[in-house]
């Protein structure tokens, strides 16, 4: 355990929806009950927080006793499934106020679920969400493209990326293509 004084907040990784959708591997860093849970992203980095900007296309209130909101946020590569429940009251109320469609910025924790049928789903538990503009969305695509390419450039040289190789058999070229396609959708 690091002492409190050197605590560093976990950075919010930039990841495209199509990469997050492939994420399957989750682990706990440490034995403690409060040890953080990470996922390994296919391009080879651990993450327990992500930052995404996209279009909120759909929002739904669910549950009777425990109300929570689900939403879909779309980026150029696919869809993020986001949710905010009563454990994140601020985030839930923010989400409740936003009417789709809208450009939103979301900070949240990636979560893996296995459905009763055995499918693995990734959702994002929202920490905060705010309405932004198109320019912020475009900046995010550039930012996420850059971070993804940086990870691909370092692929195979870090422990996390070797783990990703083992778990996913990642093909870096495939992700370069995804990045390229995402960038192509940004209008000059």
Partner 1 sequence: MTLSEVTERISRKLEAKGAQPDRQKIESRLRRLVEEFGVNVDEAERTVTGDLAREYNVTGVGTGGSSSTELRQIRDLAPNDWVTIEGKIVALTPPVSPSIAQTGIIADSSGAIRFVAWARGNPPAMEYGHWYRLESAVVDEYKGAPNLKIHSGTTIARAEEDAPLLPSITPIAELKPGVGSVRAKVIQDWEVSHDRMLQTGLLGDETGTIKFVIWKEEGKDRLELDAVYNVYYATVDEYNGRLSLALNTAMYIPDEGDIEVGRNESETRGALVHIGPGSGLIKRCPVEGCNRTLSRQNYCPVHEIQPEFRYDLRLKGVLDDGVHAKNVLMQREVVERLAGITLEEAVGIAETNPLGMDEIFYRIRNTVLGRYYTCSGSEFDGRLLVNSCTPIVFEPAELAALLNRAGGEPA
Please work out, in degrees rounded to the nearest 5, the angle formed at the alpha carbon of residue 112 by the alpha carbons of 110 and 125.
Answer: 35
* Shortest spacing between CB 135 and partner 1, in angstroms: 5
30: left (phi over 0), alpha (psi -120 to 50) or beta: left
* Shortest spacing between CB 74 and partner 1, in angstroms: 16
* Shortest spacing between CB 126 and partner 1, in angstroms: 12
Nearer to partner 1, 138 or 167 (CB): 138
Write out the residues near partner 1 by the rule CB under 8 A: 5, 8-14, 49, 51, 53, 104-107, 127-132, 135-136, 138-140, 142-143, 145-147, 149, 176-177, 179-181, 183-184, 186, 188
Nearer to partner 1, 10 or 166 (CB): 10
What does each C-alpha distance from 104 to 55, 75, 99, 135 come to in angstroms? 6, 11, 10, 11
What does each C-alpha distance from 35 to 31, 32, 154 come to in angstroms? 7, 5, 27
């Amino acid at each position: 355990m690091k002492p409190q004084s050197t605590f560093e907040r976990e950075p919010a990784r930039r990841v495209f929806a199509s990469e997050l959708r492939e994420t399957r591997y989750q682990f706990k860093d440490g034995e403690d009950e409060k040890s953080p849970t990470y996922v390994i992203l296919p391009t080879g980095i651990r993450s327990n927080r992500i930052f995404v900007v996209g279009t909120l296309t759909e929002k739904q209130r669910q549950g009777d006793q425990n109300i929570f909101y689900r939403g879909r946020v779309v980026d150029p590569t696919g869809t993020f499934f986001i949710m905010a429940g009563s454990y994140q009251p601020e985030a839930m109320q923010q989400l409740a106020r936003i009417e789709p469609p809208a450009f939103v910025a979301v900070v949240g924790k990636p979560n893996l679920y296995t459905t009763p049928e055995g499918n693995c789903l990734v959702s994002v538990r929202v920490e905060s969400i705010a309405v932004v503009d198109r320019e912020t969305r475009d900046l995010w695509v550039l930012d996420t493209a850059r971070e993804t390419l940086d990870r691909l450039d370092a692929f195979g040289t870090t422990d996390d990326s070797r783990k990703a190789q083992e778990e996913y058999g990642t093909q870096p070229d495939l992700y370069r293509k995804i990045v390229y396609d995402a960038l192509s959708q940004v209008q000059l």
